[in-house]
Chains A and B, each alone.
Chain A
Amino acid sequence: DTAVSQTPKYLVTQMGNDKSIKCEQNLGHDTMYWYKQDSKKFLKIMFSYNNKELIINETVPNRFSPKSPDKAHLNLHINSLELGDSAVYFCASSQGSTGAFFGQGTRLTVV
C-alpha cells in the first residue's frame, strides 16, 4: 500500500489548458504539502495544509489553486498552463516535525 500516492505520474498538455493533480495519503498525517522541483532539481514548497486548512502559501501565481477535501487528500488545480509550469510536482505529508513523506511525483510538461 503506497503511503503517499499522486496521479497522474506523467501529464503532457498544451499551453492554456487547465489540469489537476490528485494526492492521497494513508499515513494518518495532519499536514500535506505541494512541492515543485524545477529542471535543475531545485525543490521549493508551494502550499501546505493542516487538517484541511491552508497554512503556507508561498509566492505562487494564483493560477495554482490547492484544494483539500479532507486531511487525507490534497489536490492541485492549475489554470491557463504556461511553458514555465513544466516541472515535477511532489505531494508530501507529515505529522509534526518528524519529516515529510513524499509521493512519486507528477512530471508536468507543457507544450
Chain B
Amino acid sequence: AQSVTQLDSQVPVFEEAPVELRCNYSSSVSVYLFWYVQYPNQGLQLLLKYLSGSTLVKGINGFEAEFNKSQTSFHLRKPSVHISDTAEYFCAVSVTGGGNKLTFGTGTQLKVEL
C-alpha cells in the first residue's frame, strides 16, 4: 500500500521569503502526485499535479514542485510567499490501478508572518 509523509506539521515564514514544504511517498508501483491547499473552513483546492513527463511541475498561485523518483519526494516550493498563502497544504498520492483514490499526508500548516 502507498503512504505519504509530510514531516513538517507547521512551517512559519516571513512574507516575501521563499518556502519549501516537504513530501515523501512510499509505493511499490508507479504513482501520481498532487498538492492541495485548504484555506480555513473551505474545501481542498488542487495546486498542482505530477502525472508523467517533466519532473518540474508548475501550479497555481506561483507554486511549483519537483518529482524526484530516486528520493521518492515531491517537495512544494514558492520563491516568495504572501500573507494570503497562509493555509494547510496536503500532499497526496494515487497509484495506477488503485481506483484513483487519493492517499493524503498529514498536512503542513504554512503560516506567513509580516
Contacts and interface: CB of A to CB of B under 8 A. Distances in A.
Contacts, number: 58
B100 A94 contact: yes
Interface stretch (B13-21, B78-86, B88-96): B88-96
Contact of A48 (B44, B45, B46, B101): B101
Nearest to A4: B43
Contact of B104 (A43, A97, A105): A43
Interface in B31-83: 32, 34, 36, 38, 41-46, 49, 51
A63 interface: no
A40 B45 CA distance: 19
A101 to B, nearest CB: 7
A35 B36 CA distance: 14
Contact of A101 (B46, B88, B99, B107): B46
Nearest to B45: A102
A15 B41 CA distance: 24
B51 A45 contact: no
Nearest to B31: A97
Given A43-B90, A97-B94, A98-B51, A56 B42 contact: no
B104 A99 contact: no
Nearest to B88: A41
Contact of B51 (A50, A97, A105): A97
